[in-house]
Amino acid sequence: MPPPPPEALLRAFGPPIPGRGGLQDPPGGRPGRRRTAPGPWWKADARDDPWRDPASPAGLGAPAVYAEDAQPGPVVIDAAGRRKVRLRDLSVRLATLVVLTLLVVAAVGGGVGWYLTRTAGESPLLSPGTTLSQVQPGITREPGSVSTIAEAVMPAVVSIEVRVGQAGATGSGVVVDGENGYIVTNNHVISGADGVEGAEIRAIFSDGSGSAARIVGRDPASDLAVIKVEKPGLVTASLGMSGEVAVGDPVVAIGSPLGLAGTVTSGIVSALNRPVRLAGEGTDTNAVISAVQTDAPINPGNSGGALVDATGSLVGINTAIASTGTGGSIGLGFAIPVDTVKQITEQLISDGTAVHAVLGVNARSVTDGTRDGALVLNVEPGSAAARAGIREEDVIIAVDGTPVGSSEELVVAVDAHEPGDVVTIELVRNGSSRQVEATLDPA
């Protein structure tokens, strides 16, 4: 026989025992149910109601049958327990009425809003025929301002377009003889078109007009060239003097950087007599110039353009920039001094070529930690250096009293003289210093 169930189960689920309360009964026992006829839970037919009489018989009836078009759709209940009314649950007539009502309300609202925005007297959105008031600007430009300089110099600066076959390049130029149409520019701007059949050089002026140009002469040693256009009466640039330029002077650069004609930038003279070696890629330019350094922004296309002072006088031809590899301006631009430009340009217009003084040595920059110089790598036979007794491995430290601290400074110091000049060369040989005299040759 199985053991009797626990007393807790008997109290909870067993039949009532007189004198013993059930599980969780109140101390006085459960009150008896009042079953009265008027009570809501006791009706006359309670004995026949299967929901009230568990012993009433149950039976299955026939399934409900609905007409196909009258079957109710599913009832959708939202999260709050409310029934959702959908458009498809409505009759066609009622749904059409709702849609038409919405359309009418929207049309009436839009029309009223449109009407009010144009007829409301207090705050209209549109006011036809409105004219804004203007005042006379009180602009005062001092003499020598950048705008005044640009206005005066711009007509003398041109854009240069070079086309060789399918390739093209752009640069700038400065009119130095307006009556005869002579324009100075950089050699590396137009050298690619020299002697090439079908090549075209065109000068574009500040008024937008253009003219074909021919090469008058080129000087790769100074990176200068002169072209000529058949358009007399051009505005000529005023030439300044290199000796009047001082570090810190304000300057303005005008040209066509990146093909943007008539671009004006300003800055100051950062340094003078800066030796800069030029090697134009794709050209025969291989020059060393004693440059005017400026922080006026200069970019590719400024080459051959004007660098002018506060009076609008030309003090240099923009030629090169120092760059970190991106090809853009970093505030280090270099221009050929105007005295050099004047000297070379006159020679090119007169003879088509320019003559320079040369010593006849190849050198590289060296230093011993205390003194810099130019180490002679080789001496050209029969040159001025050979006649003066200069030997390989000599270190040149001065030319006519001008200190030489690099190979670039040696080229600049020699080029400052004329062919045939006799100069004193100070050099170091075998640890001792000596001086020799050399008569410079033309090149």
Which position has the token pair 């009502």?
A: 101
Return the structure tokens found at 313: 């006088």
As beta bridge partners, residue 289 has 276
Is 194 in contact with 215 (CB distance < 8 Å)?
yes
Residue 249: active-site member: no
Q: Which of left, alpha, beta for 129 (phi over 0: left; psi -120 to 50: alpha)?
A: left
**Closest CA relative to residue 397, chosen from 418, 368, 420, 356:** 368
Token couple for 439: 């008569």
Nearest Cα residue to 260 out of 223, 309, 308, 298: 298
| 223 belongs to the catalytic site | yes
Q: Which two tokens stand for residue 304?
A: 């051959």
Beta strands in 74-119 (DSSP E): 76-77, 83-84
Catalytic pick among 159, 256, 270, 303: 303
Q: What is the Cα–Cα distance from 262 to 154, expressed in whole angstroms?
A: 7
- Are 350 and 342 within 8 A, CB to CB? no
Backbone torsions φ then ψ of 372, nearest 5 degrees: -105, 160
284 is catalytic: no
Check residue 5 and report its DSSP letter.
P
Nearest-angstrom CA–CA distance, 399 and 237: 34
Q: Are 182 and 228 in contact (CB under 8 A)?
A: yes
Please report, as a single letter, which amino acid is at residue 147. Answer: S
Asked whether the beta carbons of 414 and 399 are under 8 A apart, the reply is yes
**Within 13 Å of residue 212, how many CA atoms lie on the same side as its CB?**
6
Which of these is catalytic: 172, 191, 219, 223? Answer: 223
What is the DSSP secondary structure assignment for residue 26, as one 8-state letter? -
Q: Kindly report the number of other CB atoms within 10 A of residue 440's CB atom.
A: 24
For 218, the enclosing helix (H) or strand (E) is strand 210-219
Supply angle C-alpha 182, 183, 189, rounded to 5.
140
**Of 188, 191, 329, 394, which residue is the catalytic one?**
188
Alpha helices, DSSP H, located in 352-403: 384-388
d(CA 337, CA 293): 10
Dihedral angle sign, alpha carbons of residues 262, 330, 238, 286: negative
Residues tagged active-site: 188, 223, 303
